[in-house]
Chain A
């Protein structure tokens, strides 16, 4: 910390020299003291922090993969084989990227549920709830575009269905399809655009929203808490706990990478799609929905309705300010039930898809 000399002139004409400490960037990341009760693992489970850690891993491993990945029809799959099989530690980088991405979906969802069940959306935190929801949606698009960039047999169906789903949207559908696919069918421009979205377009928006989301946590008064006056721990103690949690999470990531490396199938052939249609696991619920009725309703409108249900949590389902910081607080009962139902529907549909 820099120490500065400051001169203050008093009324009596004296000059008083004092030394003041200017806080560094590190000191801005957390408040000097945080509530002890809410810093406990069993309050937040560190889910927001772990999600942020996953994002950092994704940024770093993604950057490294960009040294070798080629976004072209012929080279995409080939360059990934190169990364996985030839580049030293390439399989580790790719595995970390894959698992951080999958874990991010899980931790983001669990974080959403934790915030919902502890009333962390109440009062002034309503807007931050919306920011978080937006990030959740972005995570799903990140995972989908990243998955598609493999350009192998496994993604062919998912890409075809996903892009055709856009077409079902009235008025904007064809325009959106052209924006994503870059033509009237999947081809050379598609892989370039998906790469552009995954590596830049989505990153730009997500970076802004993530920064905003974290800023709002501080501005809204820090972690949501039940008792405004309780025992506290220091910033440094919090950072120690975060470092320990991060270390354990990274070890977990490495173990997953080593023992469950991501698969890579032969290059996609859109003229001869494979027999089995597969969706990525985080969209299995949409695939199950699509079996039940018209695509616009099942694939676009129903997911949007579920999203709107989540949006309404702090604006319509629970507008009270009481109960903040308490698991399953009474005032938020309706919101908790709705969130639980929405998650239960998605999980149930996913299970149906898995068991098929």
Chain B
């Protein structure tokens, strides 16, 4: 009888182990099913005109990249219009960027003037293509103060 008990005990343990493993595999399958994400198709970068086309001290909106291209005395830079507070789109008012949602204000170079935001507007990458045109890539952020000098 004792031997039979042991066999039965071993059998039950094996079955429980098997069931637990199956359960974990099933949960993992469920995790993979629910975790699928569609690849996003957004424009990667915007190719603009040659730098000579832009007058000094001009601000050009690049809506498809969600930013402005600014040319000042020190060169070109692109400033994101996403407010670092809670993601609203800032507007340009004179020489400041203001956020309509909670009133944050930023200077031309993105620095915080006032408002609930405590981080500056991000700068995104401005480069040049092989034929000399300006290329803005909003997926790459660069340090504040970066300029494309010509």
**Interfacial residues, chain A to chain B (CB-CB below 8 A):** 64, 67-68, 82, 86-90, 93
Q: Is the CB of A89 within 8 A of B38?
A: no
Q: Is the CB of A64 within 8 A of B33?
A: yes
The binding surface of chain B is classed by DSSP as: helix
Total B residues in contact with A, Cβ cutoff 8 Å: 8
Closest 7 CB pairs of A and B: A88-B32, A87-B36, A89-B33, A89-B29, A88-B33, A88-B36, A87-B33
B34 proximal to A (CB < 8 A): yes
Q: Is the CB of A67 within 8 A of B34?
A: yes
Chain B 129-144, CB within 8 Å of chain A: the 1/0 string?
0000000000000000
Assembly CA distance A89 to B36 (angstroms): 10
**Interfacial residues, chain B to chain A (CB-CB below 8 A):** 29-30, 32-36, 38
Instruction: Write 21 A-B pairs (CB below 8 A) sorted by A numbering.
Output: A64-B30, A64-B33, A64-B34, A67-B33, A67-B34, A68-B36, A82-B38, A86-B36, A87-B33, A87-B36, A88-B29, A88-B32, A88-B33, A88-B35, A88-B36, A89-B29, A89-B32, A89-B33, A90-B33, A90-B36, A93-B33
Nearest CB on A from B110, distance (A)? 38
Assembly CA distance A93 to B26 (angstroms): 12
Q: Which residues of B contact A88 (CB under 8 A)?
A: 29, 32-33, 35-36
Identify the closest chain B residue to A64 (Cβ).
B33
Assembly CA distance A67 to B35 (angstroms): 10
Q: Which residues of A contact B34 (CB under 8 A)?
A: 64, 67
Identify the closest chain A residue to B33 (Cβ).
A89
Identify the closest chain A residue to B32 (Cβ).
A88
Identify the closest chain A residue to B38 (Cβ).
A82
Nearest CB on B from A75, distance (A)? 11
Nearest CB on B from A82, distance (A)? 7
Assembly CA distance A27 to B32 (angstroms): 36
Q: Which residues of A contact B36 (CB under 8 A)?
A: 68, 86-88, 90
Nearest CB on A from B117, distance (A)? 35
